[in-house]
Amino acid sequence: MQIARVVGTVVSTKKHRKFEGAKLMLVQPLNVDDTPRGAALLAVDGAGAGVHEKVLVVLEGRAAGEVLGAKGAPVDAAIIGIVDEVDLAP
């Protein structure tokens, strides 16, 4: 899993049927110091996340499919939690 920041929302009317009702969010993966790492990506939201929140993202198909409640969904990323706090060992 990765820590990421929700940076936006995506609206798509015409999409694969297994995405019906899913909320699509743009997430920016973060380094541990909160700087952006790599490209922003799209994830389905399984945690009720909002823009600006720090979240936990799975980048794996089966796990992401479970968030959609659909077996065989063509999805590879999902938000599975909202991060309250990260404590780094000194």
Residues that bind another protein (CB under 8 A): 7-16, 18-19, 24, 26, 39-43, 51-52, 61, 65, 72-77
Closest CA to 5 of 36, 28, 25: 28
Q: Which is nearer to another protein, 8 or 69 (CB)?
A: 8
Smallest gap, in angstroms, from Cβ of residue 84 to another protein? 21
Q: Which is nearer to another protein, 39 or 87 (CB)?
A: 39
Closest CA to 78 of 36, 54, 44, 53: 44
19: phi then psi, degrees, rounded to nearest 5: -95, 0
Q: Which is nearer to another protein, 26 or 83 (CB)?
A: 26
64: phi then psi, degrees, rounded to nearest 5: -65, -35
Smallest gap, in angstroms, from Cβ of residue 81 to another protein? 19
